[in-house]
Amino acid sequence: MEQLKHDGIHQKYLDLFGGGISHDRKLVKEFVKKLLKSKEYTIFDVVNHVKGQMFSMKNMINELRSFEMKDVIHNVKVPVTFIAGKYDLQVPPLPAKEFFDHLQAPSKEWVVFEKSAHSPNYEEKDQFIEKVLEIVSRY
């Protein structure tokens, strides 16, 4: 339980410095509002969603902290694109770029969204869609 308290404090400061889920710190509130207003989800679904996130965090956090992807994945046989938000402190661009540089693939592309933290698909939605369509049009 102490670790979850630490993670909550960590998340608070990520958000405070604009590097959490979104750079403007509004995205989580928007998600919650949309979930609560949605006709597709009940309040029980929302509660179960949060419980699922807490369960996953509690049971996976230690493994995620020690897991080194570059020690497990060295090459793939498909083209890859890494998409990063410049202000992402959840998955900071520097270590992600180090893994990207390490990874062997037929083709690789590194894309940074300049106004985003962890969620460029929401924070720079139009540019994100444009980029994804550009990428998939190559194949």
How many Cβ atoms sit within 10 Å of the Cβ of residue 85? 26
> What's the confidence (pLDDT) of residue 9?
54
> What's the confidence (pLDDT) of residue 20?
59
Domain that holds residue 132: 69-137
* Statement to judge: residues 99 and 40 lie in one domain: no
* Statement to judge: residues 13 and 62 lie in one domain: yes
Count of domains in the chain?
Answer: 2
Which two tokens mark 130? 């444009």
* Statement to judge: residues 36 and 11 lie in one domain: yes
Q: Which residues of the chain have pLDDT under 70?
A: 1-25
Which two tokens mark 133? 């369509």
How many Cβ atoms sit within 10 Å of the Cβ of residue 55? 11
* Statement to judge: residues 25 and 62 lie in one domain: yes
Q: In this structure, which long-range contacts are made by residues 56-60, counting pairs with CB atoms below 8 Å and at least 24 apart in sequence?
A: 57/4, 57/7, 58/3, 58/4
> What's the confidence (pLDDT) of residue 92?
84
* Statement to judge: residues 78 and 25 lie in one domain: no
CA triple 80-15-121, angle to 5 deg:
35
pTM of the model: 0.70
> What's the confidence (pLDDT) of residue 4?
45
For residues 84 and 54, the answer to whether their CB atoms sit within 8 Å is no
* Statement to judge: residues 61 and 73 lie in one domain: no
* Statement to judge: residues 88 and 125 lie in one domain: yes
